Amino acid sequence: MSQKTFLGVSGTIFGTIAILHLARIVYGWPAQIGSFAVPTWLSWLSLLIAGYLAITAFNLLRKL
CA dihedral 47, 16, 32, 26 (to 10 degrees): 60
For residues 4 and 61, is the Cβ–Cβ distance under 8 A? yes
Mind listing the pLDDT tens digit for each residue in 37-63? 999 999 999 999 999 999 999 999 999
State whether the Cα torsion 48-45-50-38 is positive or negative. Answer: negative
Bridge partners of 37, per DSSP, are 32
User: Which H helix or E strand runs over 41?
Assistant: helix 40-63
Q: What is the pLDDT of residues 22-40, one digit of tens each?
A: 999 999 999 999 999 999 9
- Looking at residue 57, what is its pLDDT? 98
Total Cβ atoms within 10 A of residue 14: 20
pLDDT of residue 30: 95
